[in-house]
Structure 1
């Protein structure tokens, strides 16, 4: 059986999720945190400390390549190890510059007291921490972010499976409501027809146009077969979409609009309390599904 005729199923992802990671490098830890909530499209908010600013474009590209929709906040920061931060070394360029300056000053002030070396060490830039190789740090950012994105997607997938089950449960509720109302229709039509016949008998003096108007109104108000057929069609399509998976949030949202339209029409054509109650229950179920669908990518 060909893959073309049977495309592989994809996971349904929620747009809500959280993930974080710590990636060790030579002088400390790279901390990455991702938070995501629902949104109409992908909106990135990258909060990155100045020492990592050079990697912002790389971070945005990675996020855009793996995430579809959602409002995503990404935080990156460095945390130095205590032992590593204590490893200080002289800054050769700064020491050379200070030595040359002192030599020039000594020519003008030969009687001046010798400079205390401790005071020189306190000057800004004389001592520096062990430098972090930019290429190595860039690799840490790339691998650490990839791991964190994978964890975020896994969290969104777990939440997506829960949302899918909620939708399937509500969809079953819609089926049950249709199953309730469909057998009632013949009886409802008959009861309404009897009422209409009684009214017409009382109005025997009415002309033919009046009679025809009553009959047309009767037909319009009781014929809901088309609405029920469309509801069943939407249920079948929703089942197919949930089974196929993938980024289906927008498709499902459109289906909710169509199903709600049919439920409203069913209510407006109702001539019995039973069908009115079914219409109301359908709208409740559809609204519950719509709320959940807002969180699906």
Structure 2
């Protein structure tokens, strides 16, 4: 199932310095396309590589199917990537400078370059990003799950529509078989009556043979069992869609069974109308199969 979500945070900035131009911003993006199994790819900078096992565990606990890409980054906001220290850090540097100058009056004050260099040394280490990244991942996964749930609602509506159409086709197929059998029985009887007129034979024996042929034909083209199983599979699909949860693999199996019944229906077909219904069923089932692979 497709899905997309993104988010950002500034975990190491003070509340009053959230929008400081030089603050480091942590960003995360999750996107997914359809897939039968979970295929997770992580795109992480070196500073966030330590979080990879925990990220895989978190995503795997929330996502079961799909080709998922998680991309995280650290954005250094400011000109040329220079980290501008927040006010609290500048205040600490000023306090340290005043203490030094109290003991060493001849010591010169810090230059701008030295302040920026000291601030760069105080930048968060790689390990300091792990917890903020995991917290941001949980938040983005919530948005990602909500997006996939909205798409899932649309997919369920489509599947229910296809189930209703398949029930309609099955209802059209049910009365066809008795009609076909009756027509074929008349053909057998007519054929043997014609043979009776051409060659002398026992009429009772010929009629009995015609009826036996008609009975064998009826057994050969009877699709009542296939239609019953098809209706049973459709009812189970309705039940699973109503229940919700992780139903993708069960639905995938039921779609295979629907396709099997539709194929058998086509192979037993003794009329163009029944063949057409079988083809229409397989078109609908294939549409369902493509979408069911997107559900978890």
Q: Deviations over 1:78-109 (max 9, x none)?
A: 012328713499xxxxxxxxxxxxxxxxxxxx
RMSD between aligned residues: 2.9
TM-score when scaled to structure 1? 0.76
Q: Which has the higher helix share?
A: 2
Question: Aligned-pair distance for 1:168?
Answer: 0.3
| Distance in 1 of aligned mates of 2:209 and 2:239 | 48
Deviations 1:21-72 (A, max 9, x none): 1112223211101111222322211110011112122211211222112221
In structure 1, what is the Cα distance between the partners aligned to 2:289 and 2:139? 32
**Higher RCO (C-alpha under 8 Å, 6+ residues apart):** 1
Who is 1:214 aligned against? Answer: 213
Does the 8 A contact of 1:234 with 1:255 survive in 2? yes
Aligned pairs (5 A) from 1:168-247: 168-204=160-196, 214-215=213-214, 217-247=216-246
Q: Which residue number corresponds to residue 248 of structure 1? A: 247
Shift of 1:211: 5.3
TM-score (norm 2): 0.76
Q: Which residue of 142, 148, 154 corresponds with 1:150?
A: 142
Unaligned runs of 5+ in 1: 1-14, 90-117
State the distance in 2 between where 1:166 and 1:129 align: 57
Q: Structure 1 pair 78/216, CA: closer, same or farther in 2 (3 Å)?
A: same
Question: C-alpha separation between the residues in 2 aligned to 1:30 and 1:200?
Answer: 87
Q: Secondary structure at the match of 1:56?
A: helix
Give yes or no for contact 1:36–1:72 (8 Å, CA) kept in 2: yes
| CA positional deviation for 1:258 | 1.0
Give the secondary-structure state (helix, strand or coil) at the position aligned to 1:243.
Answer: helix
Instruction: Tell me which of 59, 62, 65 is aligned to 2:61.
Output: 65
Structure 2 CA distance for aligned equivalents of residues 265 and 16 of structure 1: 34
Per the alignment, residue 265 of structure 1 pairs with 264
Range 54-63 or range 211-220, more displaced: 211-220
Partner of 1:95: none
Count of residues in correspondence between the two structures: 252
Please list every run of 5 or more consecutive structure 2 residues that lacks an aligned counterpart in the other structure: 14-22, 90-110
Which deviations, in whole Å up to 9, do the C-alpha atoms of 1:252-287 show, x marking residues without a partner?
111111111111111222222221221111111111
Question: Within 2, Cα distance between the matches of 1:280 and 1:20?
Answer: 43
